[in-house]
Structure formats: structure tokens, C-alpha cells
Amino acid sequence: MNVRLQMSMVFHLDKCIGCHTCSIACKNVWTDRKGAEYMWWNNVETKPGTGYPTRWEDQSKYKGGWESNGNGSVHLRASSKSQTFANIFFNPDLPSIDDYYEPFTYRYQDLFDSPEGPDQPTARPISMITGKPMNIEAGPNWDDDLGGSPIYAENDPNFTDVTPEEKEALFQLERMVFFYLPRICNHCLNPCCVAACPSGAIYKRGEDGIVLINQEACRGWRFCVTACPYKKSFYNWSTGKSEKCILCFPRIETGQAPACFHSCVGRIRYLGGLLYDADRIEEVMQSKEEDLVEAHRGIILDPFDPIVIEAARANGIHSTTIKYLQKSPVYWYVKEWKLALPLHPEFRTLPMLFYVPPLLPIMSTVQDGTVDMSQGGLFAPVEQTRMPVRYLARLFAAGNEGKVRYSLKKMLAVRLNQRMKNVGDIDPKLVSAMMAELDTDAEELDCIYKLTTLASEKERFVIPPSHREEAEEMLQEDLWGAKGEAGFGLLEKPVRGL
């Protein structure tokens, strides 16, 4: 057993209101720079929709992620080592700026400088790359709230399992339904970007599993851009290097939540550490598609298990850290409650950002001043959810509907349990039957309710202390190593050209 620590995340989609505050927070902190205008390390997509970059989930085009060989082993979909070498000066599978969007601003000076005339002056849109006037044709959330859905939502790649009738029903005006999917780098356990980098510039930090691109080693070959199935590695055209979400590690190291977590209005984001068995990664990523979620959960270790704690201590994880891991909301959501699911586990990178799927039944009708409580009303059974389970299963469970259904049912059980306690118009037999079906009890449902709705900041973001003092000591054992590996930043500013 090779126990390692991973800073991991849960996004509760039932709570996301799609306000994009997280995106703006990230933009302002990290990507408000020349060459990074088009990057959104954090973005929020409407589902169904094609997202950012357009149809990023369509790996027949973008060639991201691992592909199973069928005989158990996996390979990068985009290129082998020899192909990478042969294509090093021309990577054929790069998204164009048009697939992201051409970043734009407005020439506000025009409002002041235009001559007096019969018309109102307008600020012309200009490209943030060329500075020239342009026609705005796309944006990072162009299909927000089903905007342009005949083109965008219609072409969502996750509709493969959904029947045509279900799909048609989704787009009927009266029944139209959508939810939001905020995305950041998943800080995967087996990241494709690391595997694909010809320069060896990308690495996964040992202490917390954050995946980073060394700006000094990056040569801008952009094979990480292709390889990442979530398209969360971006090429900066100004510095000639690639960049990605750094999970605000300077904030995490000082015990603060990353900017997007901190600014989240709906408080949908949870952050905490997980222990996992690094020896089993290979085995997990070779699982069959339908077993991927279970195998992924299986690799996460119980922080209460004395054997695990012993192994963690042996691997240099501090004993105080263990206490934080036991309180980690991610551990509870993912492993204990089985509510949170990985996004597109079939890409086989073992993403460490988990999503609680949205339970979207609320299209209640009010009759005579009371909410319709009959079958198909406010607490409709999961089988009748407006967003087909098959669609959610494609998104969060590699097609395994059972996993999604369990998660949705549990959330429904939480609601019914609360309703029963607070209003009393739910048959207790129904609730206990659900508890039996889901193998849960009232206490657990209560805990889920509390962590979902009432959790304070300290409960949502359980960040173990980074123990820099230990890191310092480890460095001092090898002074020459310390000279090479620690420092005050970049020796050379990442600037392109001569």
C-alpha cells in the first residue's frame, strides 16, 4: 500500500445557480494577463450544451484522455511516444482559438472621441488578441441557459444513450430543463497531460497531488492541451508556455480556500484531503467502463482505518493531517455517502473533482394555494426526473445508471426525511422503505442534510496544514538539492521570442 494525499473537491450541482462568480474570481486572480485572455481555468457550462471549448467531450475530435486497448492496458488517445516525436513541430490535434472563442473587449474611448452627430456613439468590439475590430461570434459561455440551443445544446455529446423521445421532450418549451456544470482542472490521479508532456514539465505535487506545469521547463509543445480530455491545459501565446489551474496552491498552503471556492455564491464547493492507494491506480484505470466509478471509489482509503493511518505516517503524512482528512467533506460525499461522482470517468484519468448530480424535479404546480404533492409533483420518484438519468449517467458514471440513480435517490430521501420531520405530510413508511433500499439510516441522512445546507466555511473547506516546517527540514537534509529545487520564482521571465 502506497498511501498518498490528494486535495480533492466536490461540487454540489443541485446548489449551483450558474452565476459565474467563480469564473470571474479566477479570471481576476490568474488569467487577466496578455496571452491568457481566452483562458478560463474555471468555467461554468450549461448542460445540455457544448461547453468550452465547443464540444470538448467529443474525443473523436479532440483526442484527449486514455483509451482502453480492450486487453486491459490503456494508451493515450492522441499519440504514442513515437507519434509525439514525429509530430513535435506540428501537433495535429489542437483546438483552434475559434473552438475556445476569440477574446474581446470594447473600444470605450470611441464613446468619448466620436464627433458630434445625430447618432449615439458606440464602443466597437475589438479582439483582445489582435486589437482590431471584430464580430463577436462566440464566448466562453455562449450557450449559457440554453442560448442557441438548436446548435449547441442539440449537439451535446452526452445524448448518445438518451432516446429520441426523451431528447425531444427536453427541448419542449414547457418541459425545458438544464443545469450548470462548473469545471476546473480535476487534478487527476493519472493525468494525461503529465503523460503526454515531451518536456517533462508537468508534475503532480507529492504533498497534495496538485498538478502543475513548470514554466521554466515548458517548451510549449502543447501536447498537454491535446491530451487533457477536459481541455483544462491552455497555451499562452504570449509567453509561449502552457498554463493550467493551480488550485490556488499559494492559498491552500496558507489554509485558505482557492479563489473560486471562496467566492462561490451558492456554496456548492467543498474541499478536503483524501488518502488513496497509489499502487492501485493502474488497476483502476484498466477497469471496465461500468466498473469505473466503483473502482475509483475503491482506491480512496478510509482515514479512520489504523492500517491506513500507519501507512500514511510511513509515507510522511503528518499525524495532524489525518484529523483533517477524517473531517474532509469530500471523503464523506464521495466514499461514505456515495453521492458525488467523477466527471466522465471513461476518460480514465481518475479525476479528483467529484460532482453531486442535480436532482431536478422541481417543476411543481400550485393548486388552490398548495404545492402538488402527488406522484410526479414536488417529490417525484427518481425515475421521473426531468433530466434523463441516462444523460447524467453518461456525464458522471460512464453510462452506469445505477450509480447516478443511487445518488439521486439518496438526495430525495434526505428531502423526504426533512419534510417528514418539519411538515409531517410524508408517510414515515415511505421514508423507512427508502432508507432500507439505500442501506442508510436517519442519522446519515441528517448528516447529509447538514453538510449540504448548513455547513460553515470551516466545514466546507477542510484544508490540512501544509507543514512547511517539515518540508523545510526535508530540504535542509540535502542542501545541494535545496539549492536546485527551492527559490523565489522564475529565473527567467516567461517571455516569448528573443
Partner 1 sequence: MKPNQLFRSVPPVQTWLLATWLLLTWLQASGVAFGQGKPAANPGATLFEKQCYGCHNVGGGKKTGPDLMDVTTHRTRDWLHKFIPSAQGMKNSGDKFAVQLFSEFSPIVMPDQTVTPDQIDQILSLIDELSAKKQSFAPGGGRKLRKPTPKDIPKGRMLFTGETRLRKGGPPCISCHSVQDVAVLGGGTLGPDLTQVNMRRNDADLTGVLKSPVLPTMSKVYLKAPLMDEEVVQLFAYLQDVKGRTPQPTQNSSRFFVLGAFGSLMLLSLMNFTWRGRLRGVRKLLLRERQP
Q: Using CB under 8 A as the criterion, which residues of the chain lie in contact with partner 1 when the complex forms?
A: 50, 53-55, 58, 61-63, 87, 90, 92-96, 98-99, 138, 150-152, 155
Q: Which is nearer to partner 1, 94 or 169 (CB)?
A: 94
Q: Which is nearer to partner 1, 143 or 346 (CB)?
A: 143
First to last CA, the chain: 49
Q: Rounded to 5 degrees, what are φ and ψ at 354? A: -110, 150
Least distance from C-beta 157 to partner 1, angstroms?
11
Q: How many CB atoms lie within 10 A of CB 277?
A: 18
Least distance from C-beta 420 to partner 1, angstroms?
47
Q: Are 202 and 193 in contact (CB under 8 A)?
A: yes
Least distance from C-beta 51 to partner 1, angstroms?
11
Q: Which is nearer to partner 1, 196 or 210 (CB)?
A: 196
CA distances, 78 to each of 224, 260, 333 (Å)? 10, 30, 33
Q: Which of 285, 244, 264 minimizes the C-alpha distance to 180? A: 264
CA distances, 493 to each of 212, 489, 490, 496 (Å)? 17, 9, 6, 9
CA distances, 297 to each of 190, 236, 269, 304, 406 (Å)? 15, 35, 19, 16, 14
Q: Which of 256, 271, 189 minimizes the C-alpha distance to 4? A: 189
Which cell numbers in the block locate residue 68?
482502453
Least distance from C-beta 84 to partner 1, angstroms?
14
Q: Which is nearer to partner 1, 83 or 256 (CB)?
A: 83
E-only strand ranges, 43-200: 43-47, 66-68, 74-76, 104-106, 125-127, 179-183
Cis peptide before 157 (omega within 30 of 0): no
Q: Which of 443, 303, 234, 348 minimizes the C-alpha distance to 6? A: 303
Least distance from C-beta 114 to partner 1, angstroms?
33
Helix (H) or strand (E) holding 437: helix 428-438
Q: Which is nearer to partner 1, 99 or 161 (CB)?
A: 99
Q: Which is nearer to partner 1, 138 or 352 (CB)?
A: 138
Least distance from C-beta 79 to partner 1, angstroms?
11
Residue with grid cell 492496458, as numbered in its chain: 73
Least distance from C-beta 94 to partner 1, angstroms?
6
Q: Which is nearer to partner 1, 79 or 452 (CB)?
A: 79
The dihedral over CA atoms of 368, 373, 378, 382, expressed in degrees to the nearest 10, equals -160
Q: Which is nearer to partner 1, 96 or 375 (CB)?
A: 96
Q: Which is nearer to partner 1, 35 or 53 (CB)?
A: 53
C-alpha span between 410 and 425 (Å, rounded) = 19
Neighbouring C-alpha atoms within 13 Å toward the C-beta of 276 = 33
Helix (H) or strand (E) holding 170: helix 164-170
Q: Which is nearer to partner 1, 155 or 315 (CB)?
A: 155
Which cell numbers in the block locate residue 201?
514539465
Q: Which is nearer to partner 1, 11 or 100 (CB)?
A: 100
Least distance from C-beta 56 to partner 1, angstroms?
9
CA distances, 447 to each of 138, 182, 275, 368, 442 (Å)? 43, 25, 22, 35, 9
Least distance from C-beta 227 to partner 1, angstroms?
13
Residue with grid cell 461500468, as numbered in its chain: 290
C-alpha span between 192 and 79 (Å, rounded) = 11
Residue type, 72: G
Least distance from C-beta 44 to partner 1, angstroms?
18
Q: Which is nearer to partner 1, 74 or 94 (CB)?
A: 94
Least distance from C-beta 89 to partner 1, angstroms?
11
Least distance from C-beta 101 to partner 1, angstroms?
8
C-alpha span between 248 and 259 (Å, rounded) = 7
